[in-house]
A and B are shown apart, each in its own frame.
Chain A
Amino acid sequence: MAAPKSSFLNLILALGSVTLLSAFSLGYVYEWTLEPIATAKREKQLRAINAVVEFDNDPLAESFEVVKGQHQYRHRKRKGQAQAEESDPDALVFYPAKKQDTLTSYAIKSYSDQGYSGRIEIMVGFEMDGRIREVQVLSHRETPGLGSKITNADFLSQFVGQYPELFDLRVTKDGGEVDGISGATISSRAVGEAIKTAYDNFKGIDNE
């Protein structure tokens, strides 16, 4: 079975139809997976929020962004299912947690760029009086085996129940009260900083 001659027309026809066919099938798969991908993203966010606060509302639909340092916030566009990704990567995202329509706490997605290798993203839950409920690390690129220990429960549990007003969120090496991970002071410091950022902005919200 001889392949067609490499004439100009044949080349165009062959490559054209191959790319056309693959484009069509990719379009089909894209449409097909659009919904599951959006659901997976949404579930991942809800899981992270659920780990730090308790709620019976839809915190994703009521979430809003706060630009770091400025105490003005804007409501995120509600696009229903597909709004899992935030528009401004430098903004903190606030997820109000309500029970029977009463605001009980906030889950805040915060971050620090002071990690050992780039950004560390955390989700932290605050009671309305500022007490830390729970802290979760969402994403990081710290050294496996060293900085990656910031995700361990025995490191994160020291923040639980603390009031950032009374608890110095710097590591002990810098004169604070955070018990850093040995060999990973930079990563520990960054987590403390991310919580502090969240708390400072949380206070800003409160005053309005």
Chain B
Amino acid sequence: MSKPSVIEQLTKGIRKENPVFVLLLGLCPVLGVTSTAINGLGMGLATTFVLIMSNVVISLIKGLIPAKVRIPSFIVVIASFVTVVDLLMAGYLPSLHEQLGLFIPLIVVNCIVLGRAEAFASRNQLLPSLIDGVSMGVGFTYALVLLGGIRELLGSYSIFGLKIIPGDGLLVFVLAPGAFLALGFIIAFFEWRKSTASHVKNPA
């Protein structure tokens, strides 16, 4: 098996191993904050920062950590970066911080972060771990913006806060059930496209 190229490593988070649409990890913030595209973007970028930083630090210290305290050490590293994001956002982006509220501290328990730390960063060198963090973060952000955009478009007829169609929109997409509905349809769409694509490549 050949080693995956850098490009492949960078793009795997968007399509092949998209944390939300394919791996289905970290769905709690995904469903919770994506009522608008802006919220999705903010949450995605915050998570990306944590992913990259924790991947980098964990790949650096992995040789110094005995196996038995591996997970606790990773969690401490992740929690520290989450707190850093929380403080920085409160200071410099107060309005976004207010919108995302509780979900920022909850990045700690977002399984995508610990998942990448354990499955990737603790087994790879600095550079691949950095790339993995960027890739996963971009994929996560893309998923959140897509879902937030669709919910905002249907729920309030606007996108990134700009009104597109006059009127009130379909309330259900702003509320929690709309998150499940929209995510379900998006995943179904991607799976359908994947299945038709593979049919073309190797006809059965």
Contact = CB atoms under 8 A, between A and B. Distances in A.
Contacts of B90: 33, 37, 40
A15 B72 CA distance: 8
A145 B77 contact: no
A119 interface: no
B9 interface: no
Given A3-B67, A15-B72, A37 B80 contact: no
B175 A22 contact: no
B69 interface: yes
Contacts of A1: 63
Interface residues of A, number: 31
B141 to A, nearest CB: 23
Interface stretch (A5-13, A48-56, A90-98): A5-13
A3 B62 contact: yes
Given A3-B65, A5-B66, A18-B65, A29 B87 contact: yes
A14 interface: yes
Contact of A14 (B73, B84, B92, B171): B73
Contacts of B127: none
Contacts of A146: 171
A36 B61 contact: no
B76 interface: yes
B169 to A, nearest CB: 7
Contacts of B61: 18
A36 B90 CA distance: 8
A82 interface: no
A128 to B, nearest CB: 32
B35 interface: yes
Contact of B87 (A5, A14, A30, A39): A30
B201 interface: no
A15 B67 CA distance: 11
B106 interface: no
Contacts of B66: 3-7, 10-11, 14
A3 B64 contact: yes
Interface of A: 1-7, 10-11, 14-15, 18-19, 22, 25-26, 29-30, 33, 35-37, 39-41, 43-44, 143-146
15 contacts: A3-B62, A3-B63, A3-B64, A6-B69, A14-B65, A18-B61, A18-B73, A18-B77, A22-B80, A25-B80, A30-B87, A37-B87, A40-B91, A41-B94, A145-B174
